Structure 1
Amino acid sequence: MGGIEIGANESLMNPLTLFLQADIIVKMVMVGLLLASVWTWAIIISHGMKIGAMRKKSERYERDFWRAEDIDRFYQARGDDEVPAARVFSAGLSEWRRSTKNSHVDRDGTRERLSTAMGAAIAAEMDKLSDRLNILATVGAVAPFVGLFGTVWGIMRAFTDIAGMSSTSLDVVAPGIAEALFATALGLFAAIPAVIAYNRLTHGLNRLEARLTRFADGFHSTLSRELESDS
């Protein structure tokens, strides 16, 4: 008899069994949370790989840039690279050429425009790389409450079953309570990785942005010295 009870309890705790026994509302909550979890992991993997690759490519690009002896020649060879640092470099050099094509050069205005152009390029790159990260923040904030909604609904159903059967036996209460708590577990299963990944990926983006800013500042200083040498 004890073995039968243990087998019954194990069957009751089976996730598939809990899902199949749940009513339509709790099932919808569970399916929604599972889809949110899959979507979250897809974003985590794709963005983690993309940010890591872009950081390494930018590091190599910057290293090659600072080793280059001729900026114009480097731009012809590497100006169109699909790297954030390349687009920052292209934005700065394009603005430099527009600002210095006339005989009279407004040095202060040129410096200001260079800073604005490269700052805008950095912001555009960060916007592209951070696309869909807000979904992680949303899932991390909302999923526990969605799971809690499923839990509350399941507990209400369990109490309804108790009232209908006029019994407080554990056999009557347990299935509904287990389904309800499973919904909460799914909410946490979706939310916890989303919050951790959002913080880690945001940290990675902040590091990349700081690196691009330092690169832009260095290039800005190089061009500023060029302005002074032309005076």
Structure 2
Amino acid sequence: MKKYIAYNRLEITDLKNRLHDLELEQEKIYHTVEIDLTKHSKFGRYTYTAETDLCIMELLNCHVPVDRDDTVIKSVFSLCNLKAKDETLPKKDYVSSVNVRRLAISQAHIAETCIEENRTLYTDETRKNGQSYGVFITSNENQEPCLMGLKHMSSKASKTELETLKEILKEIEDRTQYLQNENPPSSAYNILKDISNTMSDREATEKSFQQLLQDYRTTLLKENIDNFYQNQTNY
């Protein structure tokens, strides 16, 4: 009899705990707020809001894979008693398109911020899967860094390093022209003319790169002066 009573007490306790969990779940469902992550689009049924795009960009900055963003958003919503309206969450294809726009925004940002005087250009090489990549970073007098780009390099030679930098600058310039829908002054020249120092962990390559960079800046200066006077003449 005692064992029977003890067993019933355990069973009652277990049922009470299950009932409590169900009440909490019911209360959570009752108080869950729906969040609409979308807005009407003239090109289709809907697209996602600017706030959703910003959230995606921040997740990408934290290295969340493009096919996992929706899962992360849903999990965070659950913690906050929220849920997406109609369970509509950004999927891989949309997140990938946001990632492309993120690059465009970062390039436009570089064109605007990397034109302060007395900047330092840092160059380095990193390897991944047996491939070499050039890393180019600039900083201002307050040592605030700005990543200009990271690009595959076929070799470690200083000429290759300069060509890689020129490719990055060309992408920034093309993006600036596209966003402004006009032909602004050369972004490459505006960025490079204020580089007063360069730094690298490879001394021999650094000396050669410094000279090549100086020659390239001189060429850009001449091109911009010639274009300026040509525009004045046409005007």
TM bin, normalised by shorter chain, reads under 0.3
More helix by share: 1
TM-score (norm 1): 0.24
More strand by share: 2
TM-score (norm 2): 0.24
